[in-house]
Structure 1
Amino acid sequence: MNPRIMIVEDERIVALDLKHSLEFLGYTVVAVAARGADAVLAVAQQRPDLVLMDINLGEGMDGTEAAQRIREQSRVPVVFLTAYAEDKTLERAEQSMPYGYLLKPFELRELEATIRMALARRQAELEVELAEERLRLALDAAALGVWEWDASSDSFEWEGHLEGILGGQPRFLRGEEDAFLNFIHEEDREALAVQLLSGQSISATVRTHHGRGHIGWIELHAKRYAGEHGGGERLIGVVRDVTERRRNEERLRQASVVFNTTAEGVLITGPDRKVVSSNPAFCMLTGYSVEEAYGRDPDDFLHARRHSDQFYPRLLEMRQGYWHGEVTCRRRDGTLFPAWEHVCVVRDNPGEVVNYIITFSDISQIRQAEQQINHLAYHDALTGLGNRHQLDDRLEIELERARLVEQRLGVMFIDLDGFKLINDTLGHAAGDVLLQTVAQRMKTLLRRTDIAIRLGGDEFVVIVPDAQRIDDYAVLAGKLLDAIRDAIQLPSDRVNISASIGIAVFPDNAKDRHALMKAADSAMYDAKTHGRNRFAFYSPDMAERAHERMAMEQGLMQAIQQQALRLHYQPVVALESGRMIGMEALVRWQHPELGLVPPARFIPVAEESGLIEPIGEWVLQEACRQTRRWQDEGYPHIRMAVNVSVRQMMNDHLVERVAQALAETGIDPQCLELEITETAIQSIEHSRERLRQLKGLGVMIAIDDFGTGFSSLSLLKHLPIDRIKIDRSFVTGLPSDGNDVAITHAIVALAHSLHLELTAEGIESTDQLNHLHQLGVGEGQGYLFRRPEPADALTELLRGGHRFQAGRQ
C-alpha cells in the first residue's frame, strides 16, 4: 500500500505542483491544507503517514505550532519544506521535533530521499512503541513492578505496579525515608540489601510493610549490570505481590496438617467418585491402606449399605452442596461400626464438579453411651429392673395393645413387709442386697413378655400381659410370695421377709394406666391390712378404704399439729388386795367429725406412715406430766406404763427423750414403766444395748403382749426385763380353754423362774381373776376393773381410796 501524505502549503500553485510530484513518485496525497488549524483537524481525521508542512502559513497558526500540536495529538511525523533557515526559525522548528527539514527550492530526488528516511524512522519508532506497549501490557497482565537503580547517579526508576505492590512510591534504593528498601520488613531488609549490592543475581521472597501494620509478601528478582562504555553500574529488578499466594500456601499447609492429623477419616474422590486420596485417620478407622482405597468407589468397600442412585444427583442439586447423616461403615476385617458422615461437592470456577470430599467419624462410643444413658433412664440402678419412666412408657404401650387385641392386662403392686425394720436394723447395705435378691427371684419367675419394675424403696410393679384367665394372676402372685418368703442370706445375717401383693386388671378394674395403678395400690394395702404375706384382687370398696386410710393419715398429721390427741388411763390392780397400784397410758384421737377414735383404727396407720414416732413422744411426755400431777396430789407410788413402738425402739434418740421427760417432770424413774413388744426386740444385739441404756435411767422395762411374738424364750435371760405382760388372747379362754390354761401356766412358771413380775391383760370376768390369782399372777388390768378413762375420772377414784375386786384362792 502506497504511503499516504498530507500537504500543508498556503501558496496554491506550490501545493498543486508538490502534489503532482508526490503522485509521480508513487505516493498518495490524502489532503491539502493552507492553514495550520485546518491541518491539525485534517490530520486527526485522515491519519496520514507523513505531513509535508511549510513553516510560514500566513495569518493564524504557523507551521511550527501546527507541527507541535500534530505531534502531541496524533503522533504523525512532520517534514518541514521551507525557504527559511535562520536561527530563530530553526529553534522554533526543533521544538516540534520534525522528521526532516528541506529548504526550497529542492530537487525531486532530495524530496524523495527525505520522505523515505522520515517514513523509515517512523516505522522504527512504531516498532519500538509497539514493543513498549507490549511490555507495559505484559507488566499489567502479570501485575509486575519493574525498577532500575543507577549506581552512578543513585537514581531509582520504576514502572508497572510497583507502587501498588509496595504501598508507596520509592525514589531511592536505600537510605532515604521513601527508599525502596524501607518498604521491606526489618527482619528481611539487611539480608536483601547485602544481596542487592553483592552483584549476584537475586531471587527471593520477602515481607513488606503495608499500611496499618499489615504485612505483605513480594517475590523479587534482580540482577546487577555493568554500565556500557565505562558508565555506572545498574541494578534492575522485577517485583510481584505474592501475599495471596503465601496465604493460600499457608492455608494449604494448615489443611495438610488437618488432613493428616484429624481424627476423622477423609476420602477425596474424583467426579467419577473413585478415591484419589485418603488420610491416616481413614486407614486407622477402617484398616484399609491408602493403596487399597485408591481408585475404588466408597460405596463398594466402605459403606455397608450403598447410597441410593438418586443420592449424588440430589446432592448436586442442593444449593449448599453438602449432606451429612449417620451411615454404617465396614472395616477391612468385615466388622461394622456406626459413623457420622459428611459429603460435599467441590466445583471449579465454571461450576463443574472436580471432587467429592467424604469425611466420617466413628460414633460407636456415642451410641454405646446413648444406650447406657437410655438404660439408666429406664432402669433401676440397684436391681436392674425397670424404673418409673419405663413403667409409664411400657404400661401405656401394653394398654394400647390390650385394647387393640381385646385382651386383659394385669398389674401387680408388690410391697415388702417389714423391709424398713431390716434396713434400719442391719443397715442400708444389707437392705440393698435384700432388694437385689428379691428382684432376681422375681425375674426368674416371670415370662419374657412380663415386665418387672422397681418403683423405689421396697415397692415393685409387675406388668402381666396376655393372661388367659384371672386365675393365672393368682397363680403367679402365689409363686412370687413363695419365692420372696424363702430365707435370704445377707452378709451378716439370714432373714425372712414377706410381701403384700395387690392385683388390678384391665379392663375389669380400670381403663387407663393411672386408674390401673391406683387400683393395684389399693389392693396391695388391702392385702397388707388383712395380715400381710398375701395377695388381693382389687374390688371397688378397696378404693373407699384406701381413701379412708389416706384421710386417716392426713387427719393424724393435723391432730398432732392441733393437739387433738388425748390420753386415757386404765388402772393396774394388785390381784391380792384389789388396790390400784398403777396406770397404763393409752392414746385416743378426738376427731372433729368422728368423735373419739379408738387406737385400733389409727395406730396401724400411724405405724405405717411413721407418725407413730411423734405420737409416741407426745404420749411419753404427757404421761410423765400426769404422773407428776398425781404425785403432787399425794399419790407418790403410782406407776405409769407407756407403750414404746417398734419405730421408737429403733430411734437412736429414744434414750435421750426418755431422760428429757424424766428431767422435765422430776418424777422418780421407778414410777415409769416402758412396755415393749416382742417384735421390737427381734434384733437382740440392738435391743440389748438399747434396753441396757434405758435401764440405766432407772425406769422399769416390761414386755407387752408376751407370747404372741417369735423371739426365743431363752433370750429373756440376756435382757434387763422387769415385767412380763400376759397377752389378752391367752386370758380370754381362761379357765375353760385347756390350751390357754397351759400357755398361761408356762408363762407364769417362766416369769417366776426368772424372778420377773407378772401383769395379766384383758381380765373381764371373776373366774379369770380368780384363776390368775391362784396361778400367782400379781397384777392385772381389764374391763372387770375399769375401762380406760380420762385422768379426771381416775383422780376421783384415787381420792376416794377405791379398791377393786380382789382375787380368791
Structure 2
Amino acid sequence: MNPNPRIMIVEDERIVALDLKHSLEFLGYQPCGVFASGEDAIGQVAAARPDLVLMDINLGPGIDGTEAALAINTAHKVPIVFLTAYAEEKTLSRAERSMPYGYLLKPYELRELDATLRMALARRQAELEVEHAEERLRLAIDAAELGVWEWDPQSDDFQWQGHLEGILGGVPRVLRGEQDAFLDFIDEEDRPAVAEQLARHATVSSTVRMRQPGGDLGWIELYAKRYVEHGRERVIGVVRDVTERQRNEEKLRQANVVFQTTGEGVLITDIEHRVIATNPAFTLLTGYTAEDIHGRDPDQFLHARRHSDHFYPRLMESHHGYWHGEILCLRRDGTPFPAWEHVCAVRDEHGQLRNYIITFSDISQIRQAEEQINHLAYHDALTGLGNRHQLAVRLETELERARLAHLQVGVMFIDLDGFKLVNDTLGHAAGDQLLQTVARRIKSALRRTDIAIRLGGDEFVVIVPDARRLDDYATLADKLLDAVREEIELRSERLSISASIGIAVFPDNGEDSQTLLKSADNAMYDAKLRGRNRFAFYSPDMAERAHERMAMEQGLMQALATDALRVHYQPVISLADGQLVGMEALLRWQHPELGLVPPARFIPVAEESGLIDRIGVWVLRQACQQALSWQRAGHRPLRIAVNVSVRQLAQDHLVEHVAAVLAETGLPPQCLELEITETAIQSIEHSRERLRQLKALGVMLAIDDFGTGFSSLSLLKHLPIDRIKIDRSFVTGLPGDSNDAAITLAIVALARSLKLALTAEGIESPEQLEFLRRHDVADAQGYLFSRPQPAPALEPLLLHGHWQPTVH
C-alpha cells in the first residue's frame, strides 16, 4: 500500500470539503481530488487513482452518494467510506448495497476519521493480497491447462473452474448417476475403477481414458483428495489432458519395439562416434554383443574401410543430415559382407548435434540374386546358352574388335530339322530335353573363343571370331552337324535329328550385326531347301529367295483375307463297276500375278508359318459345304476326303474344329474322311488318342501316302484306321516294275488281313487300272479318271454317277 494513501473527497459543501482536505493532510494522507457531485466523482476516479474515496451521501441535484459509490466500486474496486449526517434506516439500506468500508456520522472527531480510514485501507490491503493469490492460482491453472473441481458428497454439488470444460468437452453438473455427470465423461472401461477409488480411498491418482468431443479416444490425468473439516466432507480434484503425452509415449514404445525387433542392425553413437546403444539384430548380423562394442567407433570394428575424415563434417553440412549407400562390413569372425548403410545425424530442438544413428542390413542375398538375374538376363533359362541380349552385346563387341584388328567374324545360324514334329508328337517336355541335349552338343563342339546362343525355339546362333579361312567355318559346321545328328533317347525311343546351318562372314556378307544375322538366316533357309542336314554359305541370290518366301507367306495371308484360295475335287472311282464313290478335296491358289501356284510350292510355306491351321479349317468347311450341296441337289451321298497336315494333327483343338464344322454345315460325319500322312503318326501314344477322339465324332480315317514312311507296320493294329491309300510312287511303275508290284501286293495283303479299305492313287493308264482291279483294290483315283477340277466342272460325272473309259 502507498505510504501516503491517496484519498478522493466527494462533498457538496465547499467549506466542509476544504476542512476535510486539511484534516487529511494533517493525518498524513494525500488528497487527490475534491468533487461536489457524484457524476464528477465517477468521471474522474480513473484519472485520480485514489486508494479510498470519502463520500457524502446527500450531494444535491443528481445522483446521491450511495449511487455514485456503487458505480465506482463496480467499475474500479475502490474502497468507499461514507461521511454523512444521516443514519436513518432507509439511508443505511441504500449505503449497504455499495458495500462500504466505513460509515462516519458528522460531526466526527479527527482520531475517529483516522481510525476508520486506517481500518478501511488495511481491509483493502488484505483483499488485494487475496485477489493476487487467486489471480496467481488462476494463472497457474491456466498455464498448466488444468481443470479444477470440487464435489460435496452430501449434496452431490459439483463445482469446477479452469479448463475442465475444454478438457472434457462439456460441463459436468454432478459427479455421477445423472446426465452430464463427471464420471460419464470417462471411458466406460475405466469408469468403475475411478468410481471405486473416489468412494473408498482418501486419495485418487490415475491416468484414464475418455472420449474426446470429436469421438476419438483421449487420456486424462485425474488427481483427487478427500477432506473432512468440522464435520463437512468434500473432494477436491484436478484434471489434466495428457492425450498428446500418452500418444508420444505410445510412439516411444512402438519405436522401442521396432528398435528391438527390426531385422536391420542399429547403432546409436554420441557426437564423438562412440557406440552407446545397439539392438539385437546387430548382434545377429555381426556376432558382436553390446558389451563388445560399447564406447568404440564403428570404423574400428565394423567397416572394412573406415569412413573418411571428411565424412561426418560433410554429413553435418548436408541439407538432410543423412547419408546412405553400400559399404563392406565385417563380422566378429572377420567375414566380410556387403551392407546397405544409413547414417543420420540427430539434433535437439535447438539444432545442436546430439547423436548419430547408424542402421544397416546384410544385402548378400540381394547381390547374389542380382548375379542370378544378370545371368538370366543374358542366358537362356532352358539350355544355359547365351540369349538374344547376349547375342546383341557379344556380336557387337566382336565386330568392333574385328574392325580394329581387320579380322573376320563368322555367324552361324542353326535350325533343327523336324523339331516341330518331335515337339508336337512327343510333347513339350521331350522337346525341351531334345533342345538341352542339342545345346550341350553344340557347346562341346565349339572352341573356347566361340560363343553359342539360343535364339529361341529350335534356332541357335554361333559367333565364330578369329577364323582365317572359309574352310575353318566349313570344318566347324560339319562338326556341328555330326554332333547334332547323333542318336538321342527320348521317352524310351531313340531318334536322330538333323540341322540346317547358314554361314555369313564379316565383313564380306555384312558390316553390322543385323545384316550378318539376316544373311546367315537366308543361308540357313537355302540349306533347308537343298535337302536339310547340311550347311550353306551366304550368297547374294539367297536374299532374293528369302524375299520370295516372305512374299509367298504374305500372299497366303492376303489370299485368306480376300477369299482367293480355291478347292478342287478329284473323283474316287470303284474299280469293280466304275461307280463314283467319293471326292478328294485339294487346295489350289490362283495368284493374281503368279497364276496358279502349285501346292508343293506354297503348302511348305503355310506349314512353316503356321497358316496351315487356318487354311486347313477353311478347306474342311468348304469341302463339307460342297458335299452337302451335292446331296441336296439329289446326287447320291459321296465320301469327301480332306487332308490333315502334321501340324494340324499335333494341335489340341483339331477335334474341336472338326466337330464345329460338322455342326455348322450339317454334313453327316460318316461322309467325311480325314486323310493323315504316315509320318504324322510316328508317335503312337500321341496319335492313338487324337485319332480316337476324331473317330468318336463318327468320321472316317485314312492313312495317305502309305508305304513312304518308316514307321512300323504293326502300329496299324493299334490305330482306329478305316482306309489306307497306296502312294502314287508305287503305282507309277505298275505293272512292269517288279519292286513296285511287290510292294503294292504286300500293301493289299496287309489291308485284307487287317480288314481295312484300300484306295490307290495316281492311276494314269489302263494297264495300271487292270493290275489293281485284278488284285482286288477297291477304289482308285488319278488322271485316268479325272484331274482335280472345280465343283461345277464335275456336274456331268455326278449326273451320270459312274466313270466310263474313253474309247480311242
Q: TM-score, normalised by structure 1?
A: 0.69
Aligned-pair CA distance for 1:80 = 4.7
Aligned-pair CA distance for 1:522 = 0.9
Q: Does 1:106 align with 2:109?
A: yes
After superposition, the Cα gap between the structure-2 partners of 1:41 and 1:434, relative to the gap in structure 1 and judged at 3 Å, is same
1:684-710 CA deviation, whole Å, 9 max, x = no partner? 99999999xx9xx999999778xxx99
Aligned-pair CA distance for 1:209 = 4.5
Matched with 2:175 is: 173
Q: Is the 8 A contact 1:408 1:506 kept in 2?
A: yes
Matched with 1:453 is: 453
Matched with 1:15 is: 20
Matched with 2:143 is: 141
In structure 1, how many angstroms separate the alpha carbons of the residues matched to 2:806 and 2:732?
Answer: 33
Q: Does 1:97 align with 2:100?
A: yes
Matched with 1:779 is: none
In structure 2, how many angstroms separate the alpha carbons of the residues matched to 1:608 and 1:172?
Answer: 95
After superposition, the Cα gap between the structure-2 partners of 1:331 and 1:102, relative to the gap in structure 1 and judged at 3 Å, is farther
2:234 is matched by which residue type in structure 1?
R
Higher deviation after alignment, 470-479 or 394-403: 394-403
Matched with 2:483 is: 483
In structure 2, how many angstroms separate the alpha carbons of the residues matched to 1:487 and 1:586?
Answer: 37
- Superposition pairs for residues 271-420 of structure 1, below 5 Å? 274-292=274-292, 294-296=294-296, 301-302=301-302, 330-335=330-335, 346-362=346-362, 365=365, 368-369=368-369, 372=372, 375-376=375-376, 378-392=378-392, 394-395=394-395, 398-399=398-399, 407-420=407-420
- Superposition pairs for residues 554-593 of structure 1, below 5 Å? 562=564
1:283-310 CA deviation, whole Å, 9 max, x = no partner? 4344443444544555655556666777
Matched with 2:32 is: 31
Aligned-pair CA distance for 1:502 = 0.4
2:174 is matched by which residue type in structure 1?
F
Matched with 1:222 is: 224
After superposition, the Cα gap between the structure-2 partners of 1:726 and 1:13, relative to the gap in structure 1 and judged at 3 Å, is closer
Q: Is the 8 A contact 2:198 2:204 kept in 1?
A: yes
Q: Structure 2: where are the runs of 5+ without partners?
A: 572-583, 627-641, 717-722, 751-761, 768-782, 798-802
In structure 1, how many angstroms separate the alpha carbons of the residues matched to 2:651 and 2:92?
Answer: 135
* SS of structure 2 residue aligned to 1:462: strand
* SS of structure 1 residue aligned to 2:161: strand
After superposition, the Cα gap between the structure-2 partners of 1:209 and 1:454, relative to the gap in structure 1 and judged at 3 Å, is closer
After superposition, the Cα gap between the structure-2 partners of 1:202 and 1:468, relative to the gap in structure 1 and judged at 3 Å, is same
Matched with 1:130 is: 132
* SS of structure 2 residue aligned to 1:499: strand
* SS of structure 1 residue aligned to 2:527: helix
In structure 1, how many angstroms separate the alpha carbons of the residues matched to 2:748 and 2:91?
Answer: 165
Aligned-pair CA distance for 1:221 = 1.6
1:141 is matched by which residue type in structure 2?
A
Matched with 1:433 is: 433
1:246-286 CA deviation, whole Å, 9 max, x = no partner? 23333333333344344444444555555444433444344
Q: Is the 8 A contact 2:730 2:740 kept in 1?
A: no
1:181 is matched by which residue type in structure 2?
L
2:244 is matched by which residue type in structure 1?
E
After superposition, the Cα gap between the structure-2 partners of 1:257 and 1:479, relative to the gap in structure 1 and judged at 3 Å, is same
* SS of structure 2 residue aligned to 1:437: helix
In structure 2, how many angstroms separate the alpha carbons of the residues matched to 1:524 and 1:7?
Answer: 127
2:165 is matched by which residue type in structure 1?
E
Q: Does 1:544 align with 2:549?
A: no
Aligned-pair CA distance for 1:153 = 5.3
In structure 2, how many angstroms separate the alpha carbons of the residues matched to 1:401 and 1:609?
Answer: 37
* SS of structure 2 residue aligned to 1:226: strand
1:214-243 CA deviation, whole Å, 9 max, x = no partner? 44332222222222xx44222222222222
In structure 2, how many angstroms separate the alpha carbons of the residues matched to 1:590 and 1:85?
Answer: 142
Aligned-pair CA distance for 1:207 = 3.3
After superposition, the Cα gap between the structure-2 partners of 1:14 and 1:54, relative to the gap in structure 1 and judged at 3 Å, is farther
1:171-226 CA deviation, whole Å, 9 max, x = no partner? 43344534433433444444433432335122122334543544433222222222
In structure 2, how many angstroms separate the alpha carbons of the residues matched to 1:428 and 1:374?
Answer: 27
1:158 is matched by which residue type in structure 2?
W
After superposition, the Cα gap between the structure-2 partners of 1:425 and 1:242, relative to the gap in structure 1 and judged at 3 Å, is closer
1:39-75 CA deviation, whole Å, 9 max, x = no partner? 5555533434x43625257435555545444443444
Q: Does 1:238 align with 2:241?
A: no
In structure 2, how many angstroms separate the alpha carbons of the residues matched to 1:111 and 1:414?
Answer: 132
Q: Is the 8 A contact 2:24 2:31 kept in 1?
A: no
In structure 2, how many angstroms separate the alpha carbons of the residues matched to 1:282 and 1:443?
Answer: 47
Query: Bigger radius of gyration, 1 or 2?
Result: 1
2:228 is matched by which residue type in structure 1?
A
Q: TM-score, normalised by structure 2?
A: 0.69
Q: Is the 8 A contact 1:675 1:704 kept in 2?
A: no
Matched with 1:523 is: 523
1:33 is matched by which residue type in structure 2?
V
* SS of structure 2 residue aligned to 1:128: helix
In structure 2, how many angstroms separate the alpha carbons of the residues matched to 1:57 and 1:680?
Answer: 138
Matched with 2:54 is: 53
1:591-611 CA deviation, whole Å, 9 max, x = no partner? 665567778866876776789
After superposition, the Cα gap between the structure-2 partners of 1:464 and 1:151, relative to the gap in structure 1 and judged at 3 Å, is same
In structure 1, how many angstroms separate the alpha carbons of the residues matched to 2:164 and 2:380?
Answer: 77
2:382 is matched by which residue type in structure 1?
L
1:368-424 CA deviation, whole Å, 9 max, x = no partner? 555555554554332122334544555456556655666543321101234345555
Cα RMSD, aligned residues only: 6.1
In structure 1, how many angstroms separate the alpha carbons of the residues matched to 2:161 and 2:134?
Answer: 11
In structure 1, how many angstroms separate the alpha carbons of the residues matched to 2:474 and 2:243?
Answer: 87
Matched with 2:719 is: none
1:520 is matched by which residue type in structure 2?
A
Q: Is the 8 A contact 2:644 2:676 kept in 1?
A: yes
Matched with 1:184 is: 186
